[in-house]
Structure 1
Amino acid sequence: MNERRPRRGLGRRIVRFIFICGLIAVATPPVLTLVYAVVPPVSTLMLGRYAQGLWVDRQWRSLDEISPSLVRAVITSEDSAFCSHDGVDWVALESQIERLNAGKDARGASTISMQLAKNLFLWGDRSFVRKGLELPLAMMLDLMLTKRRIMELYLNIAEWGEGIFGAEAAAQAWFGKPAAKLTQAEASRLATALPNPFLRNPAKPGRGHARLARTNESRVVQAGDIFSCVLGRP
């Protein structure tokens, strides 16, 4: 009898520890989101580089200090439904699931909110587990933050090259100017570099990258009222 009690006690402590860890894991993102509503955050990628003693260039800028051209280019390139969804573009997600079921490669249905959730709370490696976690986190961000704040956070932690984070650092590194002075052509090059920031050079784009940037410019002109939640109505 005496031997069973310690074992039962140990089991209870393990269950209690797991339960507490679970509560912390669930509570941390909303608590941090409340903090990030007013305080500039750092991304998990930035934290990883800091932990390894690697160089990080991030110069925080408010949305008013970032060219509207970059906002338009990023929304057009990354998430044209940004102003209308709740953090997840369910139509695009369903389309990609249908592609997977048909044996085709998925092209990704990540919204800006989902990418922000990944950058703030999750890891970089692609997996269905991470994708599954992105969905509720993105909806939480969309519920707790304004669209302007989500865009402001995203543009200040997006990675634009080795150790280059945020619009200001990217504008200075690639074009030698502040983010507020970016032209639409420069903004389109930056926006279309986001899916592959280590292989696409916004300052000297390759043929394919240049074509994507020109297409982005054209789509911005034809986009209509998809930027109003961030830039207001024209």
Structure 2
Amino acid sequence: MIEDLKNERRPAPRSSSRLGTIGWFVARIVAAFLFLSAAQVVIYKFVPVPITLTMLMDDHPVTKEWTALSDIDRDMVAAVISGEDGKFCQHKGFDQEAMMQAFKRNQKGGRIRGGSTISQQTAKNVFLWQGGGYLRKGLEAWYTVLIETIWGKRRIMEVYLNVAETGIGTYGVEAGAQRYYGKSARKLSAVEAARIAAVLPLPKQREVNGAGGFTRRHGNAIARRVNVVKNGALDSCVYK
């Protein structure tokens, strides 16, 4: 019995103590991140996004002008849905079918295509950095769930149209409309909106004015689908 009492009084092994401390520390970090990320999303539900990491890391002077969705032509919304995410109003942040199709195309080689939704792109553009990697993708998924839950589709679209890069050093469709057409985004035609939407995947490499090749064909295809989006109520989650 004396031996048993001695064993009970022995301190826990140091390795177990260290693991417990590390686990507690990691749990605190994770909890802090979850709280802060949710707070960020709640704030940006009401406040215009002032700056993003992409803008800060841009080597060119940045031009941007925050514009309310009500001051952006509906054709611009239809154009980005047509060009970037045809199921924007149907999915809850992720389009698994589009992601699988993109994966199969990329396996065949050639031009790399993504399967990201507008929600995912908005999460990346606002809260994260450009590029790949499992960490970035994991964080992107988390922020996508948050903005879908807290913001809703209309706010996601509004933020996307204000932070998406529309040309070298140009962010948002208002700045893009002023740069390329000398007019407000409120007055864009379907063709003009489609041309801006066509450069969104590669804004530093594609031209809006005088575009040729794939960009021109892609822009024309988007323009033809603008009325399809509106008449088919594919933008209904934005204009309730």
Cα deviations by residue, 1:142-167 (Å, 9 ceiling, x for unpaired): 11112111000000000112221111
Match of 1:79 among 73, 80, 85: 85
Write the distance in 2 (CA, Å) between the matches of 1:57 and 1:12.
Answer: 49
Query: Which residue of structure 1 lines up, in the alignment, with residue 176 of structure 2?
Result: 170
Query: d(CA) in 1 for partners of 2:87 and 2:136?
Result: 22
How high is the sequence identity, in percent, across the aligned residues?
A: 37
SS at match of 1:160: strand
Query: Which deviates further from its counterpart, 194-203 or 128-137?
Result: 128-137
TM-score scaled by length of structure 2: 0.82
Comparing 69-78 with 85-94, greater Cα deviation is found at: 85-94
Q: State the match for 2:66 in structure 1.
A: 60
**Cα offset for 1:199?**
1.3
Runs of 5+ consecutive residues of structure 1 not aligned to the other structure: 1-6
Residue 217 of structure 1, aligned match among 206, 218, 223: 223
User: Which deviates further from its counterpart, 14-23 or 35-44?
Assistant: 14-23
Residue pair 1:161, 1:197 contacting (<8 A) in 2 also: yes
CA contact (8 A) 2:190 2:226 kept: no
CA distance in 1 between counterparts of 2:126 and 2:149 reads 16
Aligned to 1:126: 132
Number of the residue aligned with 2:7? none
Is the radius of gyration larger for structure 1 or structure 2? 2
Aligned counterpart, 1:3:
none
Judge conservation of contact 2:89–2:237 (CA < 8 Å) in 1: yes
What displacement does 1:133 show?
2.8
Match of 1:149 in 2: 155
Give the length in aligned residue pairs. Answer: 224
Give the secondary structure class of the aligned counterpart of 2:198: helix
Shift of 1:34: 0.3
2:108 is the alignment partner of 1:104: yes
Output aligned runs, 1:179-218, within 5 Å: 179-218=185-224
Which residue is equivalent to 2:42?
34
Residue identity in the other structure for 2:185: A
CA distance in 1, matches of 2:192, 2:113: 25
* Inter-CA distance 11–55: structure 2 relative to 1 (3 Å threshold): farther
Q: In the aligned structure 1, how far is the partner of 2:104 from the partner of 2:208?
A: 33
Q: How far is the alpha carbon of 1:99 from its aligned partner?
A: 5.5
1:71 CA displacement: 0.4
* Structure 1 stretch displaced more, 206-215 or 183-192: 206-215
C-alpha distance 30-230 of structure 1, shift in aligned 2 (>3 A): same
Q: Which residue of 2 aligns with 1:116?
A: 122
Q: Distance in 1 between matches of 2:37 and 2:125?
A: 12
Q: Post-superposition shift, 1:18?
A: 4.1
In the TM superposition, residue 30 of structure 1 has moved relative to its aligned partner by 1.2
CA RMSD of aligned residues (A): 2.6
Describe the shift of the 1:22–1:62 C-alpha distance in structure 2 as closer, same or farther (beyond 3 A): same
Q: Secondary structure at the match of 2:120?
A: helix
Q: Distance in 2 between matches of 1:104 and 1:129?
A: 26
Taking structure 1 as reference, are residues 135 and 9 closer, same or farther at Cα in structure 2, changes over 3 Å only? closer
1 CA distance for matches of 2:131 and 2:143?
Answer: 17
